[in-house]
A and B are shown apart, each in its own frame.
Chain A
Amino acid sequence: MPVQAKKSESRLDTSPAVSDEIRRTTCYMCACRCGINVHLRDGKVRYIEGNRDHPINRGVLCAKGSAGIMQQYSPARLRKPLLRTGERGEGKFKEIEWEEALALATQWLGDVRRKDPRKLAFFTGRDQSQSLTGWWAQQYGTPNFAAHGGFCSVNMAAGGIYTFGGAFWEFGSPDWERTEMFLVFGVAEDHDSNPIKLGLSRLKARGVKIVGVNPVRTGYNAIADEWVGITPGTDGLFILSLIHELLKAGTVDLDYLIRYTNAAWLVIDAPGDADHGLFARGEDGEALVAERATCALSSRKRAGVKPALKGRFALADGRFAVPAFELLAHKYLDEQYAPEKTAEATGVPAEQTRRLAREMAEAAFQREIVLQRPWTDLNGERHETMIGRPVSFHAMRGISAHSNGFQTARALHLLQILIGSIDCPGGYRFKPPYPRPVSAQPKPHGKGACAGEALPGPHLGFPEGPEDLLLEDDGVTPVRLDKAFSWDAPLSAHGLMHMVIANAHARDPYGIDVLFLYMANMAWNSSMNTSGTMRMLSDKDENGAYVIPKIIYSDAYSSEMVAYADLVLPDTTYLERHDCISLLDRPISEPDAMCDAIRWPVVEPDRQVRGFQSALLDLGARLGLPGMTKEDGTAKYRDYADYMIRHERRPGVGPLAGWRGADGGKVGRGEPNPDQIERYIANGGFFREHVPEEAAYFKHANAAWQDWAIARGLQDKRVENVFQLYLEPLRKFQLAAEGKRSPQPPQTHRERILRCFDPLPVWYPPFGDEGATAGGFPLHALTQRPAAMYHSWGSQNAWLRQIHGSNPLFVPGAVCDEAGLADGDWAWVTSPHGRIHVQVKRMEAVNAHTLWTWNAIGKRSGAWTLSADAPEARKGFLLNHLISELLPPRQDGLRWSNSDPITGQAAWFDLRVRIEKAPAEGGVTQPQFTAQTNPVAAPSGPLTYGKEWAS
């Protein structure tokens, strides 16, 4: 038959107009912060695609990003400020004017500030403006500020900063171009999203081995060349077993350890003394090392010193000291870390552990990379080459959301450092402004909050010993409502947002007047013990007043949390707002460039909404907060955009690093440029300045890097960054617990601090494991974030909710067989805290003791402008109902927070459960809640987005 030209073919327009205009801004469908090209047609969003020039996503875009259209036009968008008219939780509001809303908020907040600023708890969720919100809270004077890091991944961040001045994700990434072996621990899809996928595809193209360590073999683990189906909470033990093997084989980089770490520093060995286990220091305060050849003691800083890594050396006072490395070697060479010994707990066969250690050593040492690229270190020594140990890692919540997560993160970094793969070719690479070790980080501030006064420094920081804690004068009582930087969680560098509502409700350590939240769905998926939290938010005292008297909440959408607010400040969508993705905050740099970015209103809001940051600055001016008010009492900043341009945190250093100076010619440091935002817009919404080649690696010790970073305002002076294999601050806490140092923890805390605050990475079973199996909870349960849904935001999205409108509980085949469960059956899942009724799906590609489900798919009926019987409410469910913010009571009645004892990180994945087959009970999940009333109108009819452009 002949090739035919069809009538219809000739009619087909293969070159239709796409859009009237493309506006380039930054995505906010998750925390990844990709560059997006927003195509506009007739004033509406026609199409969103990735920005090919952007450092984060290089043109690609994930499902969430492409679904941004549906987020922009979601019916759940709030339209006007709301004042509660019903009871908390009902969702009954009246719309009020902005002036009334801001006046009311000013009155509430002003009263508190005049009397006792501690009575404001200001916590923000997944926002990306912590640099502003933290500064605002500091000017206000409350000690009670943090963002969501405490319930997200602070173990990862703090474990890294304390160990080597970096961490994963925003702090650094694998050297995708050069690495020869990549291991990914506990990562589902996000943190970060597109860069990991881009990186994995590059590894695949080069045939580089990818190893996925995760109880569940989906997503990245599905495409990994090898899967380690580890038992939750045992990653630390597995890593220490790898270290055992590496040490046994002698496959560690001694030169690297001597140069860049405290391996050679002498640790005082004088049991019973107040400084036992601390570093031996000279008169100048510098740690001492022992000369290898002479055994003479010397400052670690003496030029040309060749220190010993083993031995026992007499100190001037007659006591003895041992190099940290010898302690380390003794510890991990112990048979308890042999793969045969750890296999049962981790579920990883000994042979696999041994083989992976060998492969790692082979990649690191046999496939060593030598770049002919001279560089000079901070001691002035010139190196002709850059030596690479091409093994790289990435890890996230799977290892950090456990009560042993801090030490597990430390163990992983110890592994990286032992093979010499931190910031070397083929290894892990710092992203500017990192590295930034503890010595270059602030200490926490919050003590001595006074009425009407600002705090002297930022809330969040990195204590180096018990003396840096935020405790009242009794040395015990926490200053902060969330008990951050107290004996409960001394190194809680991100606060403990998951404890705020529970503590405020319990008035422990004190009650508050105003709870001010932004973009944190604490009445639902962002809280442990969701049902209990909802109760606490609406609980009343004996006088009939709410226990938490006033709640101000800002959100763009009709979330579960909105229903519990007294006053709602409606935020804009991400396409309607200004934002800065700042180097002062959570940066988006790449290893080879410092980068920041903006958002700007590419679509004008059609509702009476304001960007929260602008509203916050307005409130700050109304409250007369320092820095936000001119001398005449008027507002210093017109709005957030004005602040982004004109605010200077240090002279010449502001929220945005690009195009500073009057003519936009300065980078990082320079006076404000009134055209700065226009310059960003013209450049596609982001700024990028490349790191010189000489400064590209070994940034922790690289003089060129330091000078470059200083010139660009990333730091103000050279910062020495010695990797802390042996973490002395932890030892100081142990000494306090031994009663050798002040302040001292209460007796209740001492045993735990002694056990968990080991200065060398240690593994202990997650607290949730204690007695779990004997108590009838033999299984683990956890959630993974689906790639196409970010927290609760996605369910209002007409497209994303079709992909994940409900969630089954995935159950290992053997568990199904034992419990008599088949696909679609219903089951009760019970934890020490509660039980849920869910539908099951059999799965084999999962750790044999682990149940799991997708995160945050379940919704409260009526929330997010969904129908009351939406599948999200009737078939979807949260695991949160099974997780308490407190551990079960101990014998003495004390209940620990369900958190890491060091950082306070929420231990979501410590959860232990059992499962039993159940009747369908009406075919809905349990628990169910009364539907919340929706303050915005529910739409009807089908959706035909874009029909006007049909060709």
Chain B
Amino acid sequence: MHPAISVIFFTVTSGAGFGLIALLGLGWPMRDGLVPAFLVALLAGGLAAAGLVSSTFHLGHPERAWRAFSQWRSSWLSREGVLAVATLLLFAAYSLTWMFAGVRLTALGYLVAALALATVLATGMIYASLKSIPQWHGVLTPLCYLAFSLASAALLAGAAGVGADLSGIGVAWIGLAGLVLAWAIKLAWWRRAGAIGFSATGSDTGTATGLGKLGRVRLLERPHTGENYLTREMVHRIGRKHAAKLRAIALVAGFAVPSVLCLIALLGAVNLAFAVAALSLAVGLFAERWLFFAEAQHSVSLYYD
């Protein structure tokens, strides 16, 4: 699949944003007061909203984007839109009462948290629901999205929050746990994706053409000599070396560096360490997300390779 920058940016930032909204809704301790609350709310909401806005950049007709709220009964993309807006609206209410009344409404917070996580889940489900892309089609995909969302959020919360522990558990350990969990899921995802090919569905050029009964099937000529929307969008080829390099970047920037920073946070300078860790994770996630698309094989490629 073609790794579109706007979509990569969207999934990374909005994942982090909605994750942070969820943690805030769950009551992650923050400095109270108008300005600190505003800044934290802005960070969470801004990341979520920026992601949403950037996702419209890849639309052919962004001016009609409002129509995307209509099909929530069948479409995960529509659900994501509805949930995202609902989350942001309620989060706004939550933030405003927090900012101006100094109160964090627990029930509303839980609702906001649930909606935010549901939004991230919906994002993951957009991909997971596509049977045509076997690497994405599975429960690990939404888990990955959720886990990275929460891991990013934990680092951001650690960077913006107060205190070094949460109900007696060191924030650094929470961040570290988030990272370990998320990357464990991702490693499982990678393992499955690397092994799966089209084996989950049994698809190959033979089933794609129905000619497999006759013998070995191979493409001789593409229908048109130039590229087309399908080949550019879905028959993306990525070099093995290139993929390995990006995977290394993802792991170093997304796991090793933030993990070390979490450990450093144990020694103090919690906020700064976490801020740097969150940034590093974001870099790693850009690489991870790029690979998420670039390495995914769409069954259309069976007709074009």
Chain A: residues with CB nearer than 8 A to chain B?
A: 802-807, 841, 843, 845, 871
One of B172-180, B221-229, B282-290 contacting the partner:
B221-229
**Set A802, A841, A845: member contacting B226, Cβ < 8 A:** A802
CA distance A802 to B226 in the complex (A): 6
Nearest CB in chain B: distance from A255 CB, A? 45
Nearest CB in chain B: distance from A786 CB, A? 10
Are the CB atoms of B223 and A803 closer together than 8 Å? yes
Are the CB atoms of A806 and B220 closer together than 8 Å? no
Mark B192-229 against chain A: 1 for CB-CB distance below 8 A, else 0: 00000000000000000000000000001101111000
Are the CB atoms of A805 and B226 closer together than 8 Å? yes
14 additional contacts (CB under 8 A) given A802-B225, A843-B220, A845-B220: A802-B226, A803-B223, A803-B224, A803-B225, A804-B225, A805-B224, A805-B225, A805-B226, A806-B225, A807-B225, A841-B220, A841-B221, A871-B225, A871-B226
CA distance A304 to B77 in the complex (A): 90
Which A residues touch B225, using CB under 8 A? 802-807, 871
CB within 8 Å: A-B pair count: 18
CB-nearest residue of chain A to B224: A802
5 residue pairs, one from A and one from B, having the closest CB atoms? A805-B225, A802-B224, A806-B225, A803-B224, A805-B226
Nearest CB in chain B: distance from A560 CB, A? 20
Q: Quick one: which of A803, A805, A806, A841 has the most chain B CB within 10 A? A: A803
Which A residues touch B221, using CB under 8 A? 841
CB-nearest residue of chain B to A799: B224
Nearest CB in chain B: distance from A840 CB, A? 13
Q: Quick one: which of B220, B223, B225, B226 has the most chain A CB within 10 A? A: B225
Nearest CB in chain A: distance from B79 CB, A? 18
Which B residues touch A843, using CB under 8 A? 220
Which A residues touch B220, using CB under 8 A? 841, 843, 845
10 contacts between A and B (CB under 8 A): A803-B224, A804-B225, A805-B225, A805-B226, A806-B225, A807-B225, A841-B221, A843-B220, A871-B225, A871-B226
CA distance A843 to B221 in the complex (A): 10
CA distance A804 to B224 in the complex (A): 6
Which B residues touch A807, using CB under 8 A? 225
CB-nearest residue of chain A to B223: A803
Which A residues touch B223, using CB under 8 A? 803
Chain B: residues with CB nearer than 8 A to chain A?
A: 220-221, 223-226
CA distance A416 to B184 in the complex (A): 75
CA distance A806 to B220 in the complex (A): 14
CA distance A802 to B224 in the complex (A): 6
Which B residues touch A804, using CB under 8 A? 225
Nearest CB in chain B: distance from A939 CB, A? 18
Which A residues touch B226, using CB under 8 A? 802, 805, 871
Which B residues touch A871, using CB under 8 A? 225-226
CA distance A843 to B220 in the complex (A): 7
Nearest CB in chain A: distance from B211 CB, A? 12
Nearest CB in chain B: distance from A23 CB, A? 31
Nearest CB in chain B: distance from A810 CB, A? 8
CB-nearest residue of chain B to A786: B221
CB-nearest residue of chain A to B73: A1
Nearest CB in chain A: distance from B215 CB, A? 10
CA distance A803 to B226 in the complex (A): 8
CA distance A806 to B221 in the complex (A): 12
CB-nearest residue of chain B to A875: B225
CA distance A178 to B220 in the complex (A): 35
Nearest CB in chain A: distance from B206 CB, A? 16
Nearest CB in chain B: distance from A70 CB, A? 14
CA distance A418 to B225 in the complex (A): 46
Nearest CB in chain B: distance from A629 CB, A? 51
Nearest CB in chain A: distance from B71 CB, A? 12
CB-nearest residue of chain A to B216: A844
Which B residues touch A802, using CB under 8 A? 224-226
Nearest CB in chain A: distance from B103 CB, A? 44
CA distance A684 to B225 in the complex (A): 36
Which B residues touch A803, using CB under 8 A? 223-225
CA distance A348 to B2 in the complex (A): 48
CA distance A550 to B223 in the complex (A): 44
Nearest CB in chain B: distance from A817 CB, A? 15
Which A residues touch B224, using CB under 8 A? 802-803, 805
Nearest CB in chain B: distance from A943 CB, A? 14
Nearest CB in chain A: distance from B280 CB, A? 39
CA distance A805 to B225 in the complex (A): 6
Which B residues touch A806, using CB under 8 A? 225
CA distance A433 to B113 in the complex (A): 87
CB-nearest residue of chain A to B225: A805
Which B residues touch A845, using CB under 8 A? 220
Nearest CB in chain A: distance from B89 CB, A? 27
Nearest CB in chain B: distance from A653 CB, A? 48
CA distance A803 to B228 in the complex (A): 11
Nearest CB in chain A: distance from B261 CB, A? 45
CA distance A845 to B221 in the complex (A): 13
CA distance A61 to B290 in the complex (A): 46
Which B residues touch A841, using CB under 8 A? 220-221
CA distance A940 to B224 in the complex (A): 22
Nearest CB in chain B: distance from A125 CB, A? 26
CA distance A871 to B221 in the complex (A): 16
CA distance A543 to B184 in the complex (A): 84
Nearest CB in chain B: distance from A789 CB, A? 11
Nearest CB in chain A: distance from B227 CB, A? 10
CA distance A845 to B214 in the complex (A): 14
Nearest CB in chain A: distance from B228 CB, A? 8
CA distance A546 to B150 in the complex (A): 80
Nearest CB in chain A: distance from B224 CB, A? 5
CA distance A627 to B220 in the complex (A): 56
CA distance A805 to B224 in the complex (A): 8
Nearest CB in chain A: distance from B169 CB, A? 48
Nearest CB in chain A: distance from B105 CB, A? 39
CA distance A331 to B224 in the complex (A): 50
Nearest CB in chain B: distance from A358 CB, A? 27
CA distance A807 to B220 in the complex (A): 12
CA distance A871 to B220 in the complex (A): 19
CA distance A850 to B224 in the complex (A): 24
Nearest CB in chain A: distance from B230 CB, A? 13
CA distance A805 to B220 in the complex (A): 16
Nearest CB in chain A: distance from B133 CB, A? 25
CA distance A282 to B220 in the complex (A): 63
Nearest CB in chain B: distance from A223 CB, A? 14
Nearest CB in chain B: distance from A454 CB, A? 50
CB-nearest residue of chain A to B222: A803
CA distance A800 to B225 in the complex (A): 10
Nearest CB in chain A: distance from B45 CB, A? 35
CA distance A370 to B16 in the complex (A): 85
Nearest CB in chain B: distance from A214 CB, A? 16
CA distance A841 to B220 in the complex (A): 8
Nearest CB in chain A: distance from B3 CB, A? 23
CB-nearest residue of chain B to A802: B224
Nearest CB in chain B: distance from A85 CB, A? 35
CB-nearest residue of chain B to A843: B220
Nearest CB in chain A: distance from B225 CB, A? 4
CB-nearest residue of chain B to A806: B225
CB-nearest residue of chain A to B221: A841
CA distance A806 to B224 in the complex (A): 10
Nearest CB in chain A: distance from B107 CB, A? 35
CA distance A871 to B227 in the complex (A): 12
Nearest CB in chain B: distance from A448 CB, A? 53
Nearest CB in chain B: distance from A800 CB, A? 10
CB-nearest residue of chain B to A876: B225
Nearest CB in chain B: distance from A841 CB, A? 7
CA distance A803 to B224 in the complex (A): 4
CB-nearest residue of chain A to B226: A805
Nearest CB in chain A: distance from B60 CB, A? 14
Nearest CB in chain B: distance from A188 CB, A? 14
CA distance A370 to B223 in the complex (A): 46
Which B residues touch A805, using CB under 8 A? 224-226
Nearest CB in chain B: distance from A17 CB, A? 27
CB-nearest residue of chain B to A845: B220
CA distance A807 to B226 in the complex (A): 11
